[in-house]
Amino acid sequence: MYPSLVNSNILFFRSAYNVQVIVDDNEPEERLLNRFRREVMKAGVIQECKTRRFFENKPDKKKRKSREAAKRNRRRRPQARTAPQANTEGSNSKKDEEEDNWELPEGDLPF
């Protein structure tokens, strides 16, 4: 291998992809395999392989980056859009009750 390409993968990857799973004593193989899969998914190895499968030109890369940023920002936004509407309806009815100071006349009504 070329000496200049020894660390080339490290430069492009977001994190180190050396996934390590330590085997416990008397641990079943299925559980070990599940832990390994979880670590691989957490490290993002499969997602990185899928994105690098085909060449991505500049406009496509820009679109993907903006979509990912929008998805991240969507999670950060507060979800209180519907809550103030419910609160305002309740507060309006309370205000109406407080401002309503009509007194009914005593006795029978003429109609």
Residue 68 lies in a domain: yes
Residue 94 lies in a domain: no
Residue 31 lies in a domain: yes
The predicted pLDDT at position 21 comes to: 87
* Residue 107 scores a pLDDT above 70: yes
Residue 40 lies in a domain: yes
Q: Are 42 and 14 in contact (CB under 8 A)?
A: no
Query: What's the pLDDT band for 11 if we cut at 50, 70, 90?
Result: very low
Domain hosting residue 56, numbered range: 3-73
Find the mean pLDDT for residues 95-100. Answer: 62
Residue 100 lies in a domain: no
Query: What's the pLDDT band for 98 if we cut at 50, 70, 90?
Result: low
Number of domains in the chain: 1
How far the first Cα of the chain sits from its last, in Å, is: 104
Residue 28 lies in a domain: yes
Residue 7 lies in a domain: yes
- Token pair of 76, please? 């950060």
Residue 103 lies in a domain: no
Contacts of residues 97-104 at CB distance under 8 Å and 24 or more positions apart, as own/partner, are none
